Amino acid sequence: MEESLHLIVIDRAEFDELTAIIYTLPKWQGTLEDATVAAMALRYRCPVWTLNFRDFGIFKTLEFWNPD
């Protein structure tokens, strides 16, 4: 994981988009951080590594990375 670490800076426009995701999904129990992870994973077409699958279930096209 350390070998492929990439920092991503989120600008104000992207922050507003992430906030809009939360407001368009009123029944979703996810956080702004969850929305950020989902949006970045979808944008960069990379899998999400998490133990909290429940909060990401609403994003049907997300791919999850599960180490064997």
DSSP label of 29: -
Asked if the model's pLDDT at residue 2 lies above 80, the reply is no
* pTM metric for this prediction: 0.79
Domain ranges of the chain: 16-68
Spatial distance between the Cα atoms of 57 and 10, rounded to a whole number of angstroms: 23
Nearest in space to 32 (alpha carbons), one of 42, 40, 22:
22
| Percentage of residues in the chain having pLDDT higher than 70 | 96
Residue 68, pLDDT score? 65
Spatial distance between the Cα atoms of 9 and 30, rounded to a whole number of angstroms: 21
C-alpha distances in Å from residue 55, one per residue of 2, 39, 61: 25, 13, 14
Spatial distance between the Cα atoms of 40 and 30, rounded to a whole number of angstroms: 15
